[in-house]
Structure 1
Amino acid sequence: MMGHENNTFSNDFILLGLFTSSQASLVFFSFIFTIFVLTVTENTVMILIIHRELRLHTPMYFLLSHLSFMDILHISNIVPKMITDFLSGSKTISFAACGIQIFVSLTLLGGECLLLAAMSYDRYVAICHPLRYPMLMNDYVSVLMAGGAWFIGIINSIVHTAYTLHFPFCGSRVIDHFFCEVPAMLVLSCVDTTRYERGVYVSGIIFLLIPSSLIFASYVQILLTVLQMKSSEAWKKSFSTCFFHMIVVIMYYGPFIFTYMRPKKYHTPGQDKFLAIFYTILTPSFNPIIYSFRNKDVLEALKNMLKSNFVQKKQ
């Protein structure tokens, strides 16, 4: 056992990644790079707008700013390494770097699951109980929600990162994935990981099934409340908002649940990589557009910020 542990800590892993040297991969690499730049830009702009515009200093936008920050960190934890490996031709990743990738990824994935549920609760209270909103959803509650999402995500990540890296990797050290992810790491272990997989399943219930169920329930209640209103404009706006929000939620939770709540023997590398693209690369790029830039207040704040910067440059 000691030999396995020494071997684990002294050798690098090999990340096969998404790309090869073919021309098709160059096109796909360009697409991933473009998505990365857009995601970082969109979410950074979103944070700046919320910080500068006093009208957006509300619980909803406070939670959105944390979502944007998580998305920046999450995609930056994965894509720069992919880009570096593609350009350099090197696919190695050290044991420590792999551990950091797992820890950061699980922290942000878990935290974002809880944060999305908190945001749906905010919308539910605002639409279904508007008179009680100042009491049920104030600054203290929003800070508690955001802080809780970060804290619980970190604690969960510490446990799973420690367990995953504790397993001996005494065979192949080739990870058939584009980043160090728990299911891909478990495949390399030469011991039985069944008991640990049960722990992953329990975490999946806490971070995936319960939050996603609460989100669906909140949006159903929102739609039922809106249907009781007489305004057709309110119906259209609410249905449009709920529809786009649910698309993003399904894109995020669906592949995430399918990846983390299946036994190891049912995983295939190609399928896992395809699914991971949704919750690591695509969803962070859609979140600012769906949750923020379709909002009139945000667009107005963006125009004011651009005008302000333009006037300052002229002066």
Structure 2
Amino acid sequence: ALAQIAQEHGILCHVDACVGGFILPFLRKLGYPVPDFDFRVPGVTSISADLHKYGYAAKGTSLILYRDGALRRHQFFVYTDWPGGIYASPAIAGTRPAGTIAAAWAVIRYLGEEGYLALADRVMKTTQKLRAGIEAIEGLKVLGDPDMSLLAIGSEGLDVYEVADEMTLRGWHLDRQHLPPSLHLTVTPAHAEVADAFLADLAEAAQAVRRPSVHRIGHAVTLALAQAITRVLPAGLLSRLTRRFSALLGGKDGGLPRRSAAMYGMMGTLPNRGDIHEVVLDFLDRLTRPERRT
């Protein structure tokens, strides 16, 4: 639909296939239902894909494809008035590291089409297993109807951030998402060996969150207070308090805290998304600021 609208209005339509670009074609060959997303769709003018995801190459190598060569010419940079001579580059980066390009070439040559087909099939079978297992856990569900191997775990009755904290305590890391609150999974071939253990721990984590605890009661009280404060404080004062709140992002050893449900919950109560932006900026600033020696 978007490509059709773009075509009707003479607008370019780029497909960001950074994740799916190197697995969806192989899934289609294996017989999995894959909606058209590439140049089969009229109006699509360019496609990008990262090789470090489902291409299994080193990070730092990506592809961009254009429907025609005339469009690709706009990517090139040429400067003819430089005192050092005529300068030309096929991309924004001037000198690109050859190591990652060579490594990507080697991986693609090593795996070949048969290798990528086998890995794609392993990923999808693991995804189906994880999806069925998640849906079988009381209080959890997979959001939407994903076509491939990226899953979002949501809940209408459980605090998913608390579930993530419980999984952290069990040795698993789950990316926290919001809008709506959910947990992110990118399934890879390596997860085939640990899918059963993951689902068992996820069921235990959900059960732990369902049980009353002093910690969760305190979390609920904190969120209630945060919601009340955002309703009564003036915007200027609230923004200043939000900047103070950025200290919650740091763990005891300078990293991220082992429990972050309260942090995500309080961020969700902030009416101004710009305040959250400032919190993250403060956190990044502290990460890269040299410590003052006394």
TM tier, shorter chain? Answer: under 0.3
Q: TM-score, normalised by structure 2?
A: 0.25
RCO (CA 8 Å, sep 6+): is it higher in 1 or 2?
Answer: 1
Larger radius of gyration: 2
TM-score scaled by length of structure 1 = 0.24
